[in-house]
């Protein structure tokens, strides 16, 4: 499989402290690639560097052969990158349908004159909206306002809105955080179902999920990449165990 996302020597320091320090990462197209590490390892900063939320102190981010280092977040969907944040990021007073529809409308580059047309003038968007809502398991709630959803349903809607960006790369930042066990299972099944059609870069604290669905796992500790490989390798790695126990991994 070809590499779709390449990070080379990526670093970010705040004052004299490195949150991310010289990280190299290669994500293969169509795979689920998880990034794990103890609290304070630099995972969220690393994601922020990839998605353009913050600028790197040094290093590069390459997507599909193009240097996208420092590209602002609002441009990322147009490149084929969508991100789900830890916080729910949808319009609470719009329905599930309208949240997804609006994201698709924006992504499909409709011109200014199209804003004056009726919604039924865009059957392609309507069809894709329905497809995405079915895909995330919310077809039975399509007319519900986002603010009336459970936390688990809100997270599913967040994924749906990200999929409406028509991404090639989906960045998922702790998608099961705060979810009840049943909703966690549903989210895990959804992520697994997306594999192959999308490339997924995942931050996740629940190790059973990481080991179950990942093709490759990268481990950060104190801003450095200390281990990378298939789940079986990570599960038995002494360096990874030491990192989670707070031992020196240098």
Query: Could you tell me the residue ranges of all domains in the chain?
Result: 1-80+167-249, 89-166
Alpha-carbon gap, residue 71 to 51, rounded angstroms? 8
Are 17 and 45 spatial neighbours (Cβ–Cβ below 8 Å)?
A: no
Instruction: Give just the sign of the alpha carbon dihedral 134, 139, 144, 146.
Output: negative
pLDDT in the model for residue 114: 61
Alpha-carbon gap, residue 38 to 60, rounded angstroms? 24
Taking the CB of residue 250, how many other CB atoms lie within 10 A of it?
7
Are 32 and 191 spatial neighbours (Cβ–Cβ below 8 Å)?
A: yes
Residue 245 pLDDT level (bands cut at 50, 70, 90):
confident
Average pLDDT over residues 227-243: 95
Look-up of token digits 């609290």: 39
Q: Of 189, 198, 199, 168, which is closest to residue 25 (Cα–Cα)?
A: 199
Q: Is 236 left (phi over 0), alpha (psi -120 to 50) or beta?
A: alpha
Residue 218 sits at the vertex; the CA angle it makes with 5 and 229, to the nearest 5 degrees, is 100
Q: Tens of pLDDT along 44-69?
A: 999 999 999 999 999 999 999 999 99
Q: Which helix (H) or strand (E) covers residue 58, if one does? A: strand 58-63
Exposed e or buried b for every residue in 67-88, given b needs 16+ CB within 10 A?
ebbebeeeebbebbbbbbbbeb
Taking the CB of residue 120, how many other CB atoms lie within 10 A of it?
7
- Alpha helices in the chain, H assignment, sequence order: 43-51, 76-79, 96-107, 123-135, 151-163, 181-194, 207-213, 231-235, 238-244
Average pLDDT over residues 98-115: 78
Average pLDDT of the chain to the nearest whole number? 92
Are 169 and 199 spatial neighbours (Cβ–Cβ below 8 Å)?
A: yes
Residue 1 pLDDT level (bands cut at 50, 70, 90):
confident
Architecture of the domain defined by 1-80+167-249: 3-Layer(aba) Sandwich (3.40)
Total-model pTM: 0.92
Are 91 and 99 spatial neighbours (Cβ–Cβ below 8 Å)?
A: yes
3-state class (DSSP) for residue 230: coil
Task: Say what percent of the chain tops pLDDT 70.
Answer: 93
Percentage helix, strand, coil, to 5, in the chain?
Answer: 40, 25, 35
Q: Tens of pLDDT along 65-100?
A: 999 999 999 999 999 999 987 666 789 999 999 999
Q: Tens of pLDDT along 128-170?
A: 999 999 999 999 999 999 999 999 999 999 999 999 999 999 9
Residue 16 clears pLDDT 60, i.e. is over it = yes
pLDDT in the model for residue 183: 96
Average pLDDT over residues 99-106: 91
Residue 112 clears pLDDT 60, i.e. is over it = no
Residue 249 clears pLDDT 80, i.e. is over it = no
Residue 246 pLDDT level (bands cut at 50, 70, 90):
confident
């Amino acid at each position: 499989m070809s590499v779709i996302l390449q990070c080379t020597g990526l670093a970010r320091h705040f004052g004299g402290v490195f949150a991310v320090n010289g990280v190299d990462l290669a994500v293969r197209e169509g795979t689920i690639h998880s990034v794990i590490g103890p609290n304070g390892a630099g995972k969220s900063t690393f994601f922020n560097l990839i998605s353009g939320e913050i600028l790197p102190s040094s290093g590069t981010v390459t997507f599909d052969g193009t240097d996208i280092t420092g590209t602002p977040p609002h441009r990322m969907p147009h490149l084929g990158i969508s991100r789900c944040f830890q916080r729910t990021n949808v319009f609470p007073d719009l329905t599930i349908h309208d949240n997804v529809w609006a994201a698709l409308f924006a992504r499909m580059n409709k011109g200014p004159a199209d804003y004056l047309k009726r919604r039924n003038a865009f059957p392609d968007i309507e069809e894709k909206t329905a497809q995405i809502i079915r895909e995330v398991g919310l077809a039975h709630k399509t007319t519900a306002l986002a603010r009336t959803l459970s936390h688990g349903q809100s997270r599913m809607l967040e994924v749906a809105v990200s999929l409406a960006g028509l991404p090639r790369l989906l960045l998922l930042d702790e998608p099961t955080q705060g979810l009840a066990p049943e909703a966690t299972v549903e989210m895990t099944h959804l992520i697994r179902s997306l594999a192959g059609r999308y490339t997924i870069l995942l931050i996740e604290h629940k190790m059973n999920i990481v080991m179950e669905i990942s093709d490759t796992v990268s481990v950060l500790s104190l801003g450095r990449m200390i281990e990378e490989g298939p789940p079986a390798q990570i599960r038995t790695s002494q360096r990874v165990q030491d990192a989670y126990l707070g031992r020196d991994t240098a």
